[in-house]
């Protein structure tokens, strides 16, 4: 009997223990939930960006490619935006093919000294900021150059993350930008003819032949019949205006220092209707070495200048090559800048 009571009490005790365990197991752990939730909320409110360690390399979209052009001979020009006052390196594999710097607003242009030979290339972009941080762009450029002067190289911008795929920016059959420029120029001429303009004269280009000692000025003139033009220390020369265009040959040697070149627009009675002038140094003329110097006008673009002067818009690459010290970005040129223009290619 005593043994039965003992067993009975043990069973009751075991049952109570199990019951207490179940209650405790199913009870919400409020303390632990608070310990997890509260710090997370606080972290969100007080969170600060984690600063990258110096010289840390990471993929980012801070390098933006805006212009990528390759000529059939392998000449390459690349322009874009990145961090201001940074160094930009363009790599083909592990080889650095071009190095340039961004300006104070982050724009850059790079023209490799060596042309790309026939073959396929993948170009990557490395940026080093002022504080030494190294950034690798998350986009690269794929290029295929055949080496045939009649073949347009294929150029595509690749997304290294695989999110956007490849963007074809140059290839045979793509819409010809030169045709667009031609249409725009024709439209501008029609518009100019419809709108009555005030008398105006503009110097657009000059060429100096040092061997025979003569300066050739050319430009546009509206509302007049004659142009008188000259430069410091020389007599003026006259020329008639035909189809709103004029050209004057001025004999004489250009001095070494700065000098004024001028052009006057005359009416039928010889009255001066308008005038244009510019100051140029003898060194600038000598540097042109007999090639033509063009004066950038408001609204000009290198594509337009190349098309009008050389017959092919893509030859703006040659203009960039001859004026590296003046062109930091092919898309950013300014009125009154003087650019050396290469000779036209033989047909």
Beta-carbon neighbour count of residue 151 at 10 Å? 13
pLDDT at residue 265 in the model: 94
**Roughly what angle, to the nearest 10 degrees, separates helices 177-194 and 302-310?**
90
Cβ atoms of residues 315 and 77 within 8 Å: no
pLDDT band at 288 (very low <50, low <70, confident <90, very high): confident
Q: Which residues does 234 contact at the CB level (< 8 Å), separation at least 6? A: 250, 251, 252
DSSP-derived secondary structure for 108-163: EEE--SSPPPSEEEEEEEEEE-TT--EEEESEEEEEEE-S-TTSPPEEEEEETTSS
**Is pLDDT of 24 > 60?**
no
pLDDT at residue 50 in the model: 39
Cβ atoms of residues 136 and 159 within 8 Å: no
Helix (H, G, I), strand (E, B), or coil: what is residue 277?
Answer: strand
**Is pLDDT of 197 > 90?**
no
Tokens 């040959």 correspond to what residue? 249
Cβ atoms of residues 199 and 267 within 8 Å: yes
Q: What is the pLDDT of residues 87-144, one digit of tens each?
A: 999 999 889 999 988 887 788 888 888 889 999 999 999 999 888 888 888 889 999 9
Rounded Cα distance between 31 and 344, Å, is 83
pLDDT at residue 46 in the model: 40
Lowest mean pLDDT among 7-11, 56-60, 69-73, 253-257: 56-60
pLDDT at residue 35 in the model: 39
Tokens 């390399």 correspond to what residue? 57
**Is pLDDT of 246 > 50?**
yes
Q: Which residues does 124 contact at the CB level (< 8 Å), separation at least 6? A: 90, 91, 136, 137, 140
CA atoms within 13 A on the CB side of 166: 11
| Mean per-residue pLDDT of the chain | 77
What pTM value is reported for the model? 0.51
The percentage of residues in the chain with a pLDDT greater than 90, rounded to a whole number, is 22
Tokens 């999110």 correspond to what residue? 163
Q: What is the pLDDT of residues 44-53, one digit of tens each?
A: 334 344 344 4
Tokens 């004024």 correspond to what residue? 260
Rounded Cα distance between 231 and 237, Å, is 10
Cβ atoms of residues 165 and 88 within 8 Å: no
**Is pLDDT of 30 > 60?**
no
pLDDT band at 316 (very low <50, low <70, confident <90, very high): confident
pLDDT band at 19 (very low <50, low <70, confident <90, very high): low
Highest-scoring range by mean pLDDT, 7-11, 144-148, 160-164: 144-148
The token duo for 133 is: 């941080």
Highest-scoring range by mean pLDDT, 57-61, 67-71, 111-115, 271-275: 271-275
The token duo for 198 is: 């005030």
């Amino acid at each position: 009997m005593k043994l039965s009571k003992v067993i009975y009490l043990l069973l009751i005790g075991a049952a109570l223990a199990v019951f207490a365990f179940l209650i405790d197991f199913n009870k919400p752990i409020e303390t632990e939930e608070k310990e997890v939730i509260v710090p997370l909320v606080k972290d969100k409110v007080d969170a600060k960006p984690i600063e990258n360690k110096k010289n840390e390399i990471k993929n980012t979209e801070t390098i933006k490619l805006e212009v990528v052009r390759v000529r059939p001979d392998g000449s390459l020009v690349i322009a874009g935006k990145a961090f201001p006052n940074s160094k930009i390196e363009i790599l083909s594999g592990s080889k650095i093919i071009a190095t340039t710097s961004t300006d104070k607003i982050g724009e850059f242009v790079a023209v490799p000294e060596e042309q790309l030979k026939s073959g396929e290339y993948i170009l990557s972009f490395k940026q080093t900021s002022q504080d030494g941080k190294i950034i690798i762009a998350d986009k690269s450029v794929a290029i295929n150059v055949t080496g045939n002067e009649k073949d347009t190289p294929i150029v595509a911008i690749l997304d290294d993350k695989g999110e956007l795929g490849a963007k074809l920016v140059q290839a045979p059959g793509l819409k010809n930008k030169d045709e667009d420029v031609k249409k725009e120029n024709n439209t501008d001429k029609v518009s100019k003819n419809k709108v009555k303009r005030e008398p105006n004269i503009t110097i657009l280009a000059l060429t100096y032949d040092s061997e025979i000692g003569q300066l050739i000025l050319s430009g546009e003139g509206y509302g007049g019949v004659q142009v008188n033009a000259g430069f410091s220390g020389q007599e003026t020369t006259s020329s008639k205006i035909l189809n709103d265009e004029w050209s004057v040959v001025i004999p004489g040697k250009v001095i070494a220092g700065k000098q004024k070149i001028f052009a006057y627009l005359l009416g039928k009675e010889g009255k001066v209707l308008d005038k244009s002038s510019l100051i140029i140094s003898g060194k600038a003329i000598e540097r042109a070495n007999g090639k033509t110097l063009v004066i950038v006008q408001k609204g000009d673009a290198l594509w337009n200048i190349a098309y009008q002067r050389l017959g092919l818009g893509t030859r703006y690459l040659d203009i960039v090559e001859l004026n590296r010290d003046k062109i930091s970005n092919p898309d950013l040129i300014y009125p009154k800048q003087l650019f050396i223009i290469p000779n036209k290619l033989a047909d």
